[in-house]
Structure 1
Amino acid sequence: MNRLNRLFPLAVALLASPALAAGGWVSLSDQTILGPEAGMRAQVAKLRTEACQPTVRDYKTPGLAPVGGLDIDEVIRSLEKMLATFKPGDPARAGLEHSLKMAREQKENGTKVLPLPVRREKGAMTFETALRTAETLVGARGRKATGGSSSDVVAALAAESPRAALALLLAGHRAKPKDAMTLVNLAGVLTLAGLPREAIAVLDRAAELGGKLPTPGGVPGQAIALTNRGHAFLGLGRWSEAQAPLKQALSLAPDLSEARMNLSKALLCNGDVNGATRELRVALRRTIAPENSDLILKEKTPGRHGDGVGPREQSPTRRPSASLFDLSRGATFDLPQLKLPRTRREAIVMHSQYEALEQQGHAILRALGVRASAVNLSQVLDPGEMRWFKLVNGAITTSIFEPEVWPAHKAAYDAHYALDKARRPLADQRNKTIEAGMARLASVPHTCADVDTVYDDAYQTYMDALRPYLKGQEQAMARYVSARVKFETALAANLPDPAVRASKRAQIEASAKAMFYGPVVYGGVFFSEVPSLFCTEQTLPGVPLDLAELPTLDADPCGGMFSGAKVKSKVPSPALKAQGLGLSFSLSCKKVDIELSTSSLMGTDWLGGFASASLDWNGNATLFTGVKAELKLPKGVPVTGGIGAKEGVYIKFGKDGIEDAGMRVELKGSLGAGPDASTGLWEGKIEQEFGIAAAAAYWRER
């Protein structure tokens, strides 16, 4: 739940970054799966005690437990101590006694915290006092800061150092005291640092400066300021007052999920669980769309497929995959037809072939399972790619509910259940026919050929009646598998890593072939279960199965391409103006990466700036810029290696515009045994993104 309280101001601070270009949002969080509304409402209600805690701190006493104002017990003790210093008859004593009486009554009524005054209330903090408080918090060292870019502020927040971010923003204010947007950002970080009363004073000054605020990322700056104000009121525990600015922010920017998240919390802490749940469900996605357009991800009848979907209010839902993913690269997958015996005698011959085919299918499915699980995702994907993988994989695992797949899914299982329903009565009728025939033979002399005739006739009637059901199931399953594979492979093509893509295609192939080796082949097995001939000297016909080879999903858009190549260069000579400037270029089946960096900031050879661009083969691009530090083992030691860190802001672009933006932190380490890292013993990488879209997706993370 701590993440719930921390993500709101963090996301708002990011939105205020001028590094974000204007553009439409296509957020990853739009694919968030919403749980059943009743269940979510119960979850929200349980979180009230934990979530509804003010977050005001005493900057002079680090580590002091957060409170929403003045502790009532401390107030009473202070008043009692002050009262003891007044003599009876002192004119001020009566007022002090009245204040003490009121405080004791409030404590008896359950009050634990007295709210702090804000804005024009008596005793409200001034802008100058708020700045002094912030300056005190950052300390003498922080007051020496001379300014920093928005990426520096984001890097400080990524390192969970609001003091450093405050120092940079205060320096920015000193450089541009009339810049209202700097004050809006400063207010967001003040609340994050536990100083929401100061944040409101700063926001008041920003409003007094007037002028139109910029629109970072296409979001009106005024909406960001209102969101910061609402969040500051939440920090003070003033739940009702937080609602008005948050609602105003949403009227300016309906897609501003952070404002809606804050509004959800304000409603919850004010006792409106239904309203909090309603706003939360909207806030969990970046863009707004009616929930009734969501796919229902639950079948109506437990244990029975294709019988319809469950009630919307009792089912998890998500938006159709077409709203986020490219579905243009699906693969074709046509199941072959399975030959069925025409007579009892052909069934005797073909039964063992069906059983062998069934065993062969088990072996094929086991091999595909090994291929599907061969990739260790944590070693192949960075955190951002892992988040994307989970979205793609979630869409694949629930693909049957997509409009492109559901009709075929329903038809396949309708045919399967129709076969299952018809099989038993037809078998019973067959057995009765055999019993009646054998009863007739029992009263007259007969041969083994007569017995075989009774069985041949009964099974012929049975097989002729059952065959349409088997063929109906086979054809419906083939259409279902074709639709499902095309849709799921189109989804899998959105995965950027070729190894992960291959493992997912193996999983899809296994699921498709299971539908053949399961219902279809098993249908041939039980259809051909007939008694052997009674006249054993008779010759049975040779009937080959003639089964066409099942298709595979081995083909990949990156098939045959080299795994990757990387080139790095650096200007080495101090005599050159560009000394320390480096360029790296890498190309792989996964993506193209270009980075320009310098290692000469502040007169050091280990701290520098960088700017990188990454373009994958699906047309997605990521820009990442900030500061980096690298420390390497000295030359002459028997091993090579070092550690490095990057902090900065990133923007992700898709075909329809900006998909996500935020801050990213990368940590890398390597250890080599040879003259360079290419003969390394170990190399590791840790990466964490703090994205705007991720802020709205946190609820559903498992």
Structure 2
Amino acid sequence: MKRALPLLVLCSAALCSTALAESASLRAWSDARSLPPEASFAAKLPSFAACEGADFDRSKVSTDALSAYDNMVKLVTSMKADDPTRLSLEPTLAQMRVNYAKAAPLPAVQIPATLAEALKNAQAWLEKNEAAGWRAFSASEDAKDAKKASQAALAAAMLGKPNAALAALLTAQKLDPQNAQHLVNLGGVLNTLGLTGEALVVLDAAAKVSKNDSGALGWSSAATLNANRGLTLADLRRWPDAEKALTSAVDSEPMLAEARLGLARVLTCQGKTAQAAKFARAGLRRSPSVTPPPAKTTDPQATEPATVEVSEAASAKDVNASAHLPASFTFDLSRGQDFTMPNLKLPQTPGDALALLDKYQKLHDDLHARWESLRKRSEDVEARFRRQPAASPLVQARREALWQAFLHVNDEPTVKRLYDSHHKSDWEVSKADMDFSHCESGCIMPEISIKAATAEVKRALCVPAMLSQNDKWRSAMHAHAENLGAYLKASYKLHTALAANFSDPLWHERASLTAEFLVTTEFMGYVGEALHWAKDIRSYQDCVASAASSVPDKVAEDLLTPRADPCKAVFDNMSLAFSVHVVSFRISCDSMNVTAVTPGWIGAFGSISEKFATKEYTVTVGIQEGASVGVGPATVGVKSQQGAYVSWGASGITDAGVSITTSAKANVKDGATSGAQDVLKDVSGALSDKWSFIASPGGVK
């Protein structure tokens, strides 16, 4: 019978060839988010949608009053929808909004009569609100060339400065007035800055010159236009028109989470709450709901367990209701390590069990010492972990999502089936042991002791009974070894694959130790079953027919737990680095940063977190189709779907993602590529002129 043990919650040196597989999928960090059920959105939608127009002019509200309002919003949205405190505070917040709207009403939106008037108004807004920034940009070299101005706008948007992007886009449009991309991006920026009338006119002008082509990341340019236009129409409370534009955007480009969130608002304001909740929930992730491919199963006719495909594990009962997408959808699982459970020598006879008892005891003691060492190391890591400064909110959220996937490995259907099978076979082992001498009544050996009048009668009964039960127990142990080995092989491969997505040494160590702790605990439990059986045999050794003929020096091979290296940006579709204008962008498995070498004129503009309340937006950046990119020593072609995106909100970067498609091979040694630091080098020279600014109402909080 297995003794309960506490659970821990917490390329080799030789050259190997790693294929950079062909893949057109986008790795979106928001896809790793855990989603609440649709029902939880019902109470939040009215506040999110603001259908009654109880908005106010923030510039006319005192600093103290504005701070009180923002703090109340932050407090309420941080609580769960069914929190009694939230329910009691929401009426107060709604009344504050109404009072502020009366005291500082927004002026009625005026729709400019012409594109020229809209552009003139936008420039006037800059001269009034960002005079220093506008002068700094106008005096820069970026103001003299349309392409430079567009790239400068991209840089400003990536740094969270849509106001600075406005200055550059106005100039880019002036120097290249027939460029539809300038107009679409300008319309998105104007919407984000609250210049709704101007945004609509600019986007209507864009529709007249727009081409039905692909923009950055291969996303439909027409869909981006419709998304920006639909959100602008929603701000004008033209709900049916907004719904039509946003529906078109979602239908033609499913990756536009911004349009799904816009539809959530528009549908709410038309009383279609049930539909709105679906879009609000789906909009929290970049990728739309998809049905994952079925997990591969074990061939029941096979003499050995079939290879387990952990990368396709997913729950397909109701994908829209799934709190988590499959790990294979959100993380790279290509570097999981193989694990083989050591083969344990089992006694063919009761005499063998007696002879093996000391060996089992020694092995169990060694495994327990190893288990204790892992436990202490894990405690040390957890102590250091608590002292570690938090990363940026987005990176921290990414690592937490990765850790949650790690803790839920047993929920992946392929692993779960194996887990359930191993528990079932473990019960059969325990039952054979209990039937022998550990049941409440009717156990084999105690019953024989009761019935036998003499030692001779007892031996005549117990010797064959012990031989028979040893065969049953041994058969159960063989079946359990097969099931346990298959489970540990699958779970360890998935655990180490997920651990390889951590670049932070402490996170990686935490995950690696937990994976090693699991297999050590389980194998020690299996050895414990054998040890317990041998001790039971010793308790009735007068029933042993004969001694063992020989005892092996080792009863099991060594327990080997190979580790996956931490992420070093060597994955085929997880990493990208580039520079544009003064901005440097870098993203890999669990780290992302956007920095400015020197802010230049962009630094003269104010921060979005100070002026633009809860507005959000997304910037996409494309790589030239057919361009050559360095991958270690190799050169590979790329497709139009390649690139990256960054989403910004008042609190900073809220989401990011990358799409990398290559088909080269690179030699990998110790996680590095032929002396290069990264597989995918900086691709600044391969950036296309395609980029998009997509407005967003923000997620439902």
Q: Same fold (TM over 0.5)?
A: yes
Name the structure 2 match of 1:628. Answer: 598
CA-CA distance at 1:474 after TM superposition = 1.7
The 8 Å contact of residues 408 and 476 in structure 1, kept in 2 or not, is answered as: yes
Aligned pairs (5 A) from 1:325-364: 326-344=332-350, 346-347=352-353, 350-351=356-357, 354-355=360-361, 357-364=363-370
The match for 1:46 is: 43
Residues 150-186 of structure 1: per-residue CA shift (max 9 Å, x gap):
4544554566554444334344445445544333323
Checking the alignment, whether the CA contact within 8 Å between 2:41 and 2:700 is kept in structure 1 is: no
Total equivalences in the alignment: 538
Shift of 1:520: 4.8
Measure, in 1, the Cα distance between the counterparts of 2:28 and 2:578.
25
Residue in 2 aligned with 1:572? none
Give the corresponding residue for 2:122.
Answer: 131
Cross-structure match for 2:187: 187
Matched position secondary structure for 1:339: coil
> Which of the residues 531, 535, 542 maps onto 1:528?
535
Max radius of gyration: which structure?
1
Alignment match of 1:408 (pick from 405, 418, 421): 418
1:198-223 Cα distance to aligned partner (Å, 9 max, x none): 32233234445667787233233332
Aligned equivalent of 1:200: 200
Query: What are the residue-to-residue correspondences of 1:562-577 with 2, within 5 Å?
Result: none
Give the Cα–Cα distance (whole angstroms) in 2 for the partners of residues 247 and 592 of structure 1: 32
Q: Distance in 1 between matches of 2:208 and 2:173?
A: 15
1:426-445 to structure 2, matched below 5 A, reads 427=437, 428=439, 431=442, 433-434=444-445, 437-439=448-450, 441-442=452-453
Note the alpha carbon deviations across 1:621-671, whole angstroms, 9 max, x for none.
9997854269xxxxxxxxxxxxxxxxx997799998636323799xxxxxx
* CA-to-aligned-CA distance 1:202-249 (integer Å, 9 cap, x gap): 323444566778723323333222211222233344444421111122
Distance in 1, Cα, partners of 2:553 & 2:348: 12
Deviations 1:302-327 (A, max 9, x none): xxxxxx98954796355544456554
Amino acid at match of 1:169: L
**Correspondence for 2:514 among 507, 518, 527:** 507
Provide the C-alpha distance between the structure 1 equivalents of 2:366 and 2:399, rounded to a whole number of angstroms.
Answer: 32
- Look up the equivalent residue of 1:417 and give its one-letter code: W
Any idea what SS the aligned residue of 2:554 has?
coil
Distance across 2 between alignment mates of 1:149 and 1:233: 28
Aligned position for 1:463? 470
What SS class does the counterpart of residue 507 from structure 1 fall into? helix
Residues 315 and 425 of structure 1, relative CA distance in 2, 3 Å threshold:
farther
Aligned equivalents of 2:40 and 2:317: distance in 1?
20
CA contact (8 A) 1:295 1:402 kept: no
TM-score (norm 2): 0.60
Contact persistence 2:422–2:480 (CA under 8 A): yes
Q: Is the 8 A contact 1:331 1:486 kept in 2?
A: yes
Distance 1:509 1:321 in 2: 20
Q: Deviations over 1:98-118 (max 9, x none)?
A: xxxxxxxxx9xxx99999567
CA gap of 1:294–1:477, structure 2 versus 1, over 3 A, is: closer
Contact residue 488 and residue 508 of structure 1 kept, 8 A? yes
Task: Look up the SS of the partner of 1:194 in the other structure.
Answer: coil
* 8 Å Cα contact 2:291-2:316 kept in structure 1: no
Letter of the 1:548 partner, please give it. A
Partners of 2:577 and 2:585 within 8 A in 1 = yes
Q: Which residue matches 2:561?
A: 553
| 1:61–1:459 Cα change, 3 Å | same
Paired with 1:180 and 1:327, the residues of 2 have a C-alpha distance of: 40
Tell me how far apart the structure 1 counterparts of residues 575 and 275 of structure 2 sit (CA, whole Å): 46
How many angstroms apart in 2 are the aligned matches of 1:477 and 1:496?
A: 30
Q: Partner of 1:215 in structure 2?
A: 215
Q: What is the CA distance between 1:514 and its match in structure 2?
A: 1.8
- Report the more deviating stretch, 538-547 or 496-505: 538-547
User: Does the aligned pair in 2 maintain the 1:369–1:507 contact within 8 Å?
Assistant: no
Instruction: Name the % identity.
Output: 22
Distance 1:275 1:596 in 2: 41
| Corresponding position of 2:485 | 478
Report the AA paired with residue 598 of structure 2: K
Taking the aligned partners of 1:403 and 1:261, their CA distance within structure 2 comes to 31
Structure 1 residue 50, shift from structure 2 partner = 2.3
Distance 1:506 1:468, change over 3 A: same
Tell me the secondary structure at the aligned position of residue 598 of structure 2: strand
8 Å contact from structure 1 (residues 326, 494) kept in 2:
yes
What is the CA-CA distance between 1:30 and the residue it aligns to?
A: 7.5
Distance 1:173 1:33 in 2: 38
| Aligned counterpart, 1:517 | 524
* 1:359-374 equivalent positions in 2, closer than 5 A: 359-371=365-377, 374=381
Deviation at 1:364, TM superposition (A): 1.6
Cα distance change of structure 1 residues 523 and 198 upon mapping to structure 2, 3 Å threshold: farther
Q: Counterparts of 1:659 and 1:59 in 2: how far apart (Å)?
A: 36
Q: 1-side partners of 2:458 and 2:270: how far apart?
A: 84
1:242-269 C-alpha deviation (Å, 9 max, x unpaired): 2111112223323222212221232234
The Cα of 1:45 is off from its aligned counterpart by: 0.7
Q: Secondary structure at the match of 1:662?
A: strand
Specify whether residues 136 and 55 from structure 1 end up closer, same or farther in structure 2 by C-alpha distance, changes over 3 A only: farther
Aligned residue in 2 for 1:583: none
Q: Pairwise mapping of residues 46-85 of structure 1 onto structure 2 (< 5 A)?
A: 46-53=43-50, 54=53, 58=57, 61=60
Report 1:282-431 matches (<5 A). 282-288=282-288, 290-291=290-291, 293=293, 312=318, 316=322, 318-323=324-329, 326-344=332-350, 346-347=352-353, 350-351=356-357, 354-355=360-361, 357-371=363-377, 374=381, 389-390=399-400, 392-402=402-412, 405-420=415-430, 423-425=433-435, 427=437, 428=439, 431=442
CA shift, 1:469, in A, is 1.4
Consecutive unaligned residues of structure 2, counting only runs of 5 or more, are 1-22, 67-97, 297-313, 601-618, 624-628, 632-637, 660-693
TM-score by length of 1: 0.60
User: Counterpart in 1 of 2:644?
Assistant: 660
Q: Deviations over 1:515-535 (max 9, x none)?
A: 211245335425632463687
- 2:264 equivalent to 1:257: no
CA distance in 2, matches of 1:31, 1:284: 8
Q: Give how far 1:44 is off.
A: 1.3
Which residue of the other structure, out of 487, 496, 503, is the alignment partner of 1:489?
Answer: 496
RMSD: 5.5
Whether the aligned pair in 2 keeps the contact of 1:434 and 1:454 (CA below 8 Å) is: no
CA distance in structure 1 between the partners assigned to 2:278 and 2:248 by the alignment: 18
Q: After the TM superposition, which residues 155-170 of structure 1 pair with which residues of structure 2 at under 5 Å, given as runs?
A: 156-157=156-157, 161-170=161-170
The question of whether the paired residues in 1 share the 8 Å contact of 2:429 and 2:480 is answered with yes
Deviates more, 1:163-172 or 1:257-266: 163-172
CA contact (8 A) 1:626 1:649 kept: no
The answer to whether the 8 A contact 1:493-1:501 is kept is yes
For 2:164 and 2:219, locate their aligned partners in 1 and report how far apart those are by CA, in whole Å: 26
Summarize deviations over 1:399-424 as a string: whole Å, max 9, x none: 44556545533432332234445554
Hey, which of these two has a bigger chunk of strand by percent?
Answer: 1
Deviations 1:358-386 (A, max 9, x none): 44333322323455573867669777765
**Letter of the aligned partner of 2:195 in structure 1?**
L
Q: Secondary structure of the equivalent of 2:194?
A: coil
1:691 aligns with 2:656: yes
